[in-house]
Structures are given as C-alpha cells and as structure tokens.
Amino acid sequence: MDTQYLENIESNVRTYSRSFPVIFDKAQGARIWDADGNEYLDFLAGAGTLNYGHNESDLQKALIDYIQSGGIVHGLDMWTDAKYQFFKTVEEILLKPRGLDYKIQLPGPTGTNAVEAAIRLARHATGRKNIITFTNGFHGVTMGALATTGNSKFRQAAELPAIGAQFMPYDGYLGEGVDTLDYLEKALTDSSSGLDKPAAVFFETVQGEGGINVASIEWMQRLERLCKAHDILMIVDDIQAGCGRTGKFFSFEHADIKPDIITNSKSISGFGLPFAMVLMRRDLDVWKAGEYNGTFRGFNFAMVTATAALKKYWSDDTFEKDIQRKGEIVKTRYQKLASLISDHGHPASERGRGLMRGLDVKTGEMADKITKRAFKKGLIIETCGHDGNVIKCLCSLTITGDELEKALDILEDSVKDALAA
C-alpha cells in the first residue's frame, strides 16, 4: 500500500488516515478490509453515518436498480420522483406516527449545511440573532455553524471570530448536583446578564464529538419548558444521535419533547451518501423562494436509499428494540471495562444512550494506548471528548451478535494490554 504517495499529495488537514494508516478498499456490514486483505471490525461506522452498516444489501439493490433505470442523479432542487417517494415516506413512517407536523427542507448534503440553514431560519423567524449553544457541542465548521461549536481547534483556525451564538453549560458540565439550567434560567430572566435574548437553543441530546455526554430526560424537559416560557425556539441537532442511534429514530423521543426545528444528516441516506434534511414546524417556514441555496440540495441517490432504509427498518418497532438490546450489551461490557481500568488506578466510567456509548478513561493518552492496540487487533474504534479521552462505540446498529461480541472482546484485550504496558 503506497501510503507515502497519499501523505505527500493530501493536505496536512487529513485526520483519520493518521489513526488508521492503511488504504481501505472493501466493506460489508460491520466489516471493512484494507488493500492487503486485512479485515477489521468497524466500531466507527463513518462516525455515525453507517447505522445500517457498509453496503447494506437491500439499499444497494435499490440504488443499483435506480441507476440502471436511468433515474435522475442530480436535479438541483427540482421535483423528482425520488424526492416525492422520499417525502411521502418521511411523512408516513417518521412524522405521522409520532404526531409531528413538519415541513422539509433539503439544504445541501452535509450536516453543516443543515445547521447553517436551521439556525438562519430560527433567526429569520424570530428576528433575533443569538443562538444558545452548549459546552462541548459540535455542529460543524462552516462559519455560521462554527459559532455554535465549542472546540477551540476549529475556532482558533478560523482567524475570524465566529459570531451569533453564546455558550451555556451542558447537562452535567459542572458536576453532580449542579443543574446547569439554573444559569440559563437566571440569565434569561435577568436583563443585564449579557445573554442576548436568543432565537433558539440548539443542542444534541447526546453529544457525540463532545464525549458522549448524555442530557438527562429531566434536563431536556426543563429546557423545553424554559423555551416555551421565554418564547425561544428549540432546535435539536440530531445529525449524529438521530436515525436510531440512541434506540429511537429521533433521539429526543426519549424525553417526549417536540423540537421546533430538527437537523438530520449522517445516517439519513442509510448508505453513507451525502445527505441532510431540516424539519421545521409548519408555521416557522418563513423562507422566501431561494433565500438559502446550494448545488447539491437534490441528491436523488440519497433519497432512494433513504426511502428504502426508512421502509425496511422503521415501519415497526422491531429495529428499535434490537438497538436497545444491543445497547445494553455494550453498556454492560463497557461498565466492566471501566471497573477493570479503575481497579488499575485509572479512574474510568461508562455512559451513553442506546448504541451511542462511551468509555471515559480520563486522558487522551490512555485512550490512545487502547485504541491503537485495538486497531492492530482488527478493531477500528475512535475517541472523542475534549482531550480525546472517551472511547466511542458507534458500531453499526445492524451488527450481528457475534460481531459485537468479537469487537468487545478485542477491546477488552486491548484494555488489558494497555494496562499491562
């Protein structure tokens, strides 16, 4: 594998090829192979983009059929049959059964496109400029989204200040026993707090990049009450936590709250294709024609696979239950690993919701020791959190029982090796 060629020609900005310095060429389900034929179990799954695994066969078939039929690939935002089918399916399978009445915007095929559109719409609809975002939130790096993203790595590289958002502490940020919404509520009711009255609060129900930080049900419900009391919109960024990752299609269903605007991307196409969607409360659709645009708003391949994925996996609650069941398996094994590591004098803990789980080993150094060993043993697994201190599980939701056990066994071996090193 001529990795040196790639090192030389690709910009230094590259990231994952540093952790996994091989050239991959095939993938199926939860498994991926490099050009030398080495097999890996994939616990990263496109950072949550491959919830149904690599090359899911029914989606692949739907896609090939569509291509062979001469269907439209790219149609700007024109109406196509694929779009019609997709919208119908979203309505029938996702919205109606949940009592949701949203309009749909396809804002461009990346998460950050959806974020820019969603927060701009919130500003447009309220006439206010400010967005409340939260510590450790990650929402993208284009300049509008960046204002809502906490990571200093991106913020510093921008050279310009990213404007339009103010940060508040996320649930749990100030430790046990501190309800961080006390600060938000105080600031909202105090006209000299420096908090500009926001258009919206914008948050992930489980923070992915931020370290698998889980907002409690009570915190989200109080946040919804605060929003209603102060006439502030609630936007849930469900780009990573959505599409079943937490055990429900929308991650906020656990809290029985109804966001005013929702951003989706990553796994919405189901097949790893670039795609994003903004759902908005019907009366918030104040957009005028063409006020937000982009060339790739209408990627029909993604609509074809998204439609197939929704029909296959979300027509009843079988898949939800299966995710929840597997989540419990990972939880139990991660807790066991946390105990094991703690017993060796490195305090560690487990957290998560559904199949979005993290093993917090407190330092990036320790986490790297473990994940490097795991890669050598055939497991692709990444870290997150402000110091890279949390070992993420973002395995495909369709992983088989055997694959899951094998992956967790590799992780356990890697932990043991790291502790012994």
- Judged by CB under 8 A, the chain residues 285 through 324 that form the site for a copy of itself are 285-296, 299, 301
| 94 touches a copy of itself (CB under 8 A) | no
**Region of 166-174, 217-225, 318-326, 331-339 interacting with a copy of itself (CB under 8 A):** 166-174
Tokens in use for 4? 């040196």
> Which of 196, 409, 413, 417 contacts a copy of itself by CB under 8 A?
196
Distance of CA 169 to the CA centre of its chain: 20
Tokens in use for 291? 């006020």
With CA atoms as reference, report the closest residue to 411 among 113, 44, 130, 66: 44
Burial (CB count within 10 angstroms: exposed 0-12, middle 13-18, buried 19+), residue 5: exposed
Can you name the residues that pair with 299 across neighbouring β-strands?
74
Q: How many residues bind a copy of itself (CB under 8 A)?
A: 150
The interface with a copy of itself within residues 101-140 (CB under 8 A) comprises 103-105, 108-113, 116, 120, 123-124, 127-130, 133-138, 140
Task: Specify the 3-state DSSP secondary structure of 260.
Answer: coil
| 335 touches a copy of itself (CB under 8 A) | no
**Region of 47-55, 250-258, 325-333, 346-354 interacting with a copy of itself (CB under 8 A):** 47-55
| 347 touches a copy of itself (CB under 8 A) | no
d(CA 212, CA 190): 32
Nearest distance in Å: CB 137, a copy of itself: 7
| 340 touches a copy of itself (CB under 8 A) | no
| 232 touches a copy of itself (CB under 8 A) | no
Residues in contact with a copy of itself, shown as a per-residue x/- string from 354 to 393 under the rule CB under 8 A: -------------------------------xxx------
d(CA 59, CA 305): 5
Can you name the residues that pair with 168 across neighbouring β-strands?
134
Outline where 104-209 has alpha helix (H).
111-126, 143-146, 152-157, 181-189
> Which of 55, 216, 342, 349 contacts a copy of itself by CB under 8 A?
55
| 283 touches a copy of itself (CB under 8 A) | no
Q: Say which residues have a Cβ less than 8 Å from residue 11's Cβ, sequence separation at least 6.
A: none
> Which of 58, 100, 169, 230 contacts a copy of itself by CB under 8 A?
169
